[in-house]
Structure 1
Amino acid sequence: MALYKTLAQHFIDDIQAQRLPVGSRLPALRAMAKQHQVSMTTATKTYDYLQQTGWIYAQPQSGYFVANQIETTSFPSLDIKSIEQRDPKRFAPLNGYNPASSLFSPLGTSMISPSLQPSVALQRNIKRVTRRAGNHLFQYPETQGDQGLRKALAEHLRHYNLAFSAADFVITNGCIDAVRLAVESVTKEGDTIAISSPCFSGLLDLLSALSRKVIEIPIHDNGLDLDHLETLLQQGLIKASLFSTSNMNPTGMTLPIEQKQALAKLAAQYQTPMIEDDVYFELGHQKQQSLPAKYWDKEGFVIWCGSFSKTLAAGLRLGWCLPGRYLSSYLNQHALTSFGVNGLIQTCLAEFINTGEYRSHVNRIRTVLNQHIHSYQQFLIEHLPSNAKISAPQGGIVLWVQIPSLNALQLEKEANKQGIDIRSGACFSTHDFYHDCFRINCGWPLENTGDKYSTYQQLIRLCELINSSTKP
């Protein structure tokens, strides 16, 4: 066993024996290295391993602390007996699945804090590109996307053992645009698409706007109900499927490798396209990233969509797609609805990837977001009712919470009155099933700055609302 794992096991033994109780502070890195006579590299690896396996969590400027052990939580799943073809327009909440809020607070929208964005590096990068830019930047961009960016993206993904060529990619205006083009390329109005339950609210709004029907496939503890999906495929009831597979929004779940393989196999077997919304692909908290279903797609039936919005900056509105065998129809649809994607932004992103700055940034924020998730979990465990169920994601930036007897839609309204933006379970399904669930974003640091608008203070007020509304 590696030295850092041996040392980590020493801490785990102390935690399990309660010699290190929950909430207790661990020695600082330098002190720990000196105490155990190891290098700083080994000490850092030890604490990284303990964080990744959920034994400890870090508080910025405060140190490392013993975490409550959050085991994989079993959430209720949609009853298969109630599954039916549905028109999402008919079952949308009053303001849509992803209502436009009149306010903004960090707990609502799934995104990283501006403090985590590499603003200075990006600005430096943009200045460098514009100084040497030729006239081609001011012409209509290629429909498929800047070749330099497609080459940079292909090279970047090779670090994850994903072998694609620049010719496989299409650059889009964000991930939701990539998904829209995929839906329009392989289905028509009135067609039925299989989605997960719960499903990201933005996808439900998109399918509603595109006049597609949906059938929700339940998510259980071990992933999607693939038996039911295959039954629908056998019966020819769906024209396509649309699933997230890694660090899913809102549950944070990542499908097991076996399920991702099975999804690719089912798509090929029944020659039915699967659209893979993988916007959180690079935000796994482990150093070894989970592969997408696209990795096992040998016949091109998986349409893989991604973006820089969640990893870098939402305002860039830059995404990408590997349409597989649907490349021609995808490009035709792209040309009909867009004259391409901003050339300057594409060139700047290619430069940012090629210099290695993007990879360094992603590696850094994965660790930080892991710390955020643990901090939010600890806070919620301490402040919510004892029967609250809190998700334990291995990646992404959101937590899914269920509290029996909670009216989450009413909670959302009351929270909005206090300037707190959250998403109730009603946003994530056409069924009235997740009424006691809500989702919060963990992309902002949980710091008690004393400011009443800080994330910490907003979470305090949210927990007070919940506790008062769920009292017997």
Structure 2
Amino acid sequence: MRNIADPSLVPLGGGIPNADLLPIDKLNRMLASESKRFPLQSISYPPAQGHKRLRTLIARRSLNSGCSLAPDDVVITSGCVEAMNLALQAVYRPGDTVAVGSPVYPTFLKSIQWMGLKVLEIPSNGEGLNLEVLNYAIRHNQVSACITITNFNNPLGSLMPDEKKRELVMLLAKHDIPLIEDDVYGDLAYGPSRPASAKAFDEKGLVLYCSSFSKTLAPGYRIGWIAPGRFREKVAQLKALLNVASSSPTQLAVAEFLTNGGYDHHLRKIRRVYARQTGQVREAVGRYFPLGTRVSRPEGGYILWVELPEDLDSFRLYQAGLQEGIGIAPGTIFTLGDQYKNCFRLNAACWSERIELALETLGGIAAAI
């Protein structure tokens, strides 16, 4: 994982947004101006739940994903990863089993294992979790929580249809199982509107909805949030205990950007660019990689899942790519099992001659393995 995010490599391995598309200058001006406008707030501990102005804006924007949240339903976190960890800590007991869509975002695997929990991988496809397998797993295992990325999954890029989201929420609610939903890529839909979240179908408060501005505004600001439903009090207590509160200056800056920075215009712009660049990376894989290679076709985000012919080893491709200064994420890091050996994740957030040359080089290596 350290090599995947190495800035000296051609950046094809991590889930990092394209820095050229982020509103760096405007955000930095707002960071400075808000610190001057609210000098005491900017250097003080904020409420553990986060500044109310930011929570109000997030709650208002949740209507776009089909939710109806109040400011007090939201807890500000240090990125989406902390939101997910708080959600897990709020619902688990040591030794519990957590169902998670496979292939799995590696940080989820590490968090689940670090907490002493058991991982139950549920196969996923272009429409998300296989609900038949999940239903069977629930009936034959003591599943205490389920984790999924419903919109533009990392690493598959898949989008779960609304009806399937409803079915997932109803299935888990029937067994009183919490759903921890990561929707960090939801705002990056290529279409005219963002897709609904699974939280939109939550009637029992069992969906702990997590997201952040790391993929759209500023990963280094570490501003995320969680709407934890019936677990709100427990999550707020954990946030105060483990982290006290998230940074005040960056909360103030993001709130100002949402109010006066043209966030929706910014989203429309980067959606168009990511749609175009993802298509360019897909076409390059088709040109340069061996016959039989398949690539996902996402409707949002900038993550691609590549399946090489079955006899090819993506970890060998990863190792050879490092020697050429190119980083990819081999499929084996997305599972605890013996799967995805011929698969890898590509970051399609950037496109340039350097990126195309790197893909041509990788394709040549794959053909020679």
Bucket of the pairwise TM-score, normalised by the shorter protein: over 0.9
One-letter code aligned to 1:442: A
Secondary structure of the corresponding residue to residue 100 of structure 2: strand
Q: Any stretches of 5+ residues in structure 1 without a counterpart?
A: 1-97, 449-453
Q: Any stretches of 5+ residues in structure 2 without a counterpart?
A: none
One-letter code aligned to 2:355: T
Contact residue 369 and residue 442 of structure 1 kept, 8 A: yes
1:249 matched to 2:154? The reply is: yes
One-letter code aligned to 1:135: L
1:173 matched to 2:78? The reply is: yes
1:467 matched to 2:367? The reply is: yes
Which one of the candidate residues 156, 171, 174 is aligned to 1:269? 174
Secondary structure of the corresponding residue to residue 226 of structure 2: strand
Which one of the candidate residues 294, 302, 311 is aligned to 1:389? 294
- Counterpart of 1:342 in structure 2 is 247
Cα shift at 1:412: 0.8
Give, in whole Å, the separation in 1 of the partners of 2:275 and 2:5: 30
Give, in whole Å, the separation in 2 of the partners of 1:391 and 1:159: 26
- Counterpart of 2:6 in structure 1 is 103
Q: Which runs of structure 1 show a deviation greater than 4 angstroms over 4 or more consecutive aligned residues?
A: 99-102
Q: Which moved more, 1:155-164 or 1:345-354?
A: 155-164
Contact residue 125 and residue 156 of structure 2 kept, 8 A: no
Give, in whole Å, the separation in 1 of the partners of 2:338 and 2:242: 35
Give, in whole Å, the separation in 2 of the partners of 1:116 and 1:228: 39
Highest RCO, 1 vs 2 (Cα 8 Å, sep ≥ 6): 2
Cα shift at 1:221: 4.7
Give, in whole Å, the separation in 1 of the partners of 2:120 and 2:66: 33
Cα shift at 1:235: 4.0
1:145 matched to 2:145? The reply is: no
Secondary structure of the corresponding residue to residue 457 of structure 1: helix
Residue pairs, 1:229-240, within 5 angstroms: 229-240=134-145
Contact residue 288 and residue 359 of structure 2 kept, 8 A: no
Contact residue 103 and residue 419 of structure 1 kept, 8 A: no
Query: What do the CA deviations read for 1:160-207 (whole angstroms, capped 9, x no partner)?
Result: 443211111000000011000010110022211000111111211221
Query: What do the CA deviations read for 1:216-250 (whole angstroms, capped 9, x no partner)?
Result: 11114544221221233334521110111010011
- Counterpart of 1:457 in structure 2 is 357
The CA RMSD measured in Å over matched residues stands at 1.5
Which one of the candidate residues 24, 28, 40 is aligned to 1:123? 28
- Counterpart of 1:320 in structure 2 is 225
Give, in whole Å, the separation in 2 of the partners of 1:99 and 1:416: 12
Query: What do the CA deviations read for 1:129-148 (whole angstroms, capped 9, x no partner)?
Result: 12212312222111111101
Query: What do the CA deviations read for 1:258-303 (whole angstroms, capped 9, x no partner)?
Result: 1100111122211110100111111111112110100000110000
Cα shift at 1:413: 1.1
Give, in whole Å, the separation in 2 of the partners of 1:111 and 1:357: 22
1:439 matched to 2:319? The reply is: no
Higher gyration radius (CA): 1
Size of the aligned set, in residue pairs, is 366
Cα shift at 1:424: 0.5
Residue pairs, 1:273-292, within 5 angstroms: 273-292=178-197
Cα shift at 1:348: 0.8
* TM, length-normalised to structure 1: 0.75
1:377 matched to 2:255? The reply is: no
Q: Percent identity?
A: 32
One-letter code aligned to 1:250: P
Contact residue 113 and residue 119 of structure 2 kept, 8 A: no
- Counterpart of 1:62 in structure 2 is none
Contact residue 111 and residue 397 of structure 1 kept, 8 A: no
1:411 matched to 2:311? The reply is: no
Contact residue 388 and residue 402 of structure 1 kept, 8 A: yes
Query: What do the CA deviations read for 1:352-404 (whole angstroms, capped 9, x no partner)?
Result: 00115222211210111000111111111111112111111111111111111
